[in-house]
Amino acid sequence: MTLPDASAPRAAGRQPRPADLSDRQKVADLIFFESQVHRHLDWRTPLDWLGQSPYWVLEEGRHISAALAFPPDPDSIAWIRLFAFASHLSRFSAWPPLWEAARAQLQQAGGGTVSAIATQHWFEQILVDERFALVEQIVLLEWYEGPAQAVQPIPDITIRKMVPQDLPRVAGIDAAAFEPLWRNSVAALTKALEQSSYASVAEGSSGMLGYQMSSGGSFGAHLARLAVLPEDQGHGIGGWLVADLIRHIQDAGGSKVTVNTQASNPSSLALYSRLGFRRTGERFPVYALQVD
């Protein structure tokens, strides 16, 4: 049920419109000074998506009081990168005009899957009300101190640092290893490599077989991405990449590695468990809606 909006008298002055690059500072102010802000867990900030569509703002005079962005990347997968609104609005007044405009624009462009990781209850309620389907749960695991789990080297396979020239092949492994919802484009992986603290690839006689990308600092790391070609899974390559990451973190004086994975992925959960990772108890629901 839609509740009455206390700011209804001001509604006549609100107009949704596509965002443009000149809105950067106003959108930044909305993100950093308001409390009702959903930001996607991404290598790119919400401001990096300005200039792409759908990216809509709610304008009141000279001010921007709300913003919604879900540009597809890659292909037709459109994660909600940003939804934020000013404190004088409610979600019942901020969401509908932006959602209707942005959804119509996505439809005109051919449609896609609009997805979101709900890290806050108020945002999850919007998704539920809009009839997004709960499609997954993300769980957080952590390795903390202690020796790295012993992993035997694999004959004829080597691990080396990733370089930018590897990215097209890395993207190919990513596309083969993951379902469309979880794939990364070359552009996203390029950003990931630029921001990573340690990224490595596993190679055999036939070429690259898997990779990992991690971010972090002197205290530890977050394993942001791990993928192995489907035909090479089950041979210990993923475990070796993670063990190599743990050794790298320990050599740098770190003592902690975290990772997110899908609750419905038993092979991934088993891999991390063997390496000494334990669930933290945190989990975040993933919602999706097909827009045709």
Per-residue pLDDT tens over the stretch 201-214: 999 999 999 999 99
Tell me the pLDDT band of 152, cut-offs 50, 70 and 90. confident
Residue 225: pLDDT over 50: yes
Most confident residue range from 1-5, 189-193, 251-255:
189-193
**Look-up of token digits 């930018």:** 164
Mean pLDDT within 4-15: 57
Q: How far apart are CA 77 and CA 81, in angstroms?
A: 12
Print the SS3 string covering 249-261.
Answer: HHHCCCCEEEEEE
Distance linking the first and last C-alpha atoms of the chain = 25
- Reported in sequence order, the residue ranges of 51-156 that DSSP labels E, i.e. its strands, are 55-60, 63-69, 77-79, 82-85, 112-117, 133-144
Q: Work out the percent of the chain whose per-residue pLDDT is above 90.
A: 83
Per-residue pLDDT tens over the stretch 174-183: 999 999 999 9
Tell me the pLDDT band of 268, cut-offs 50, 70 and 90. very high
Residue 87: pLDDT over 80: yes
The better pLDDT of the pair 134, 74 is held by 134
The better pLDDT of the pair 145, 185 is held by 185
Report pLDDT for 1: 40
Per-residue pLDDT tens over the stretch 114-132: 999 999 999 999 999 999 9
Look up the pTM and report it: 0.90
Residues sharing a CB contact under 8 Å with residue 147, sequence separation 6 or more, in sequence order? none
Rounded to the nearest integer, the mean pLDDT of the chain is 92
Which of 175, 213, 173, 177 minimizes the C-alpha distance to 193?
Answer: 213
Residue 36: pLDDT over 70: yes
Report pLDDT for 241: 95
Residue 89: pLDDT over 70: yes
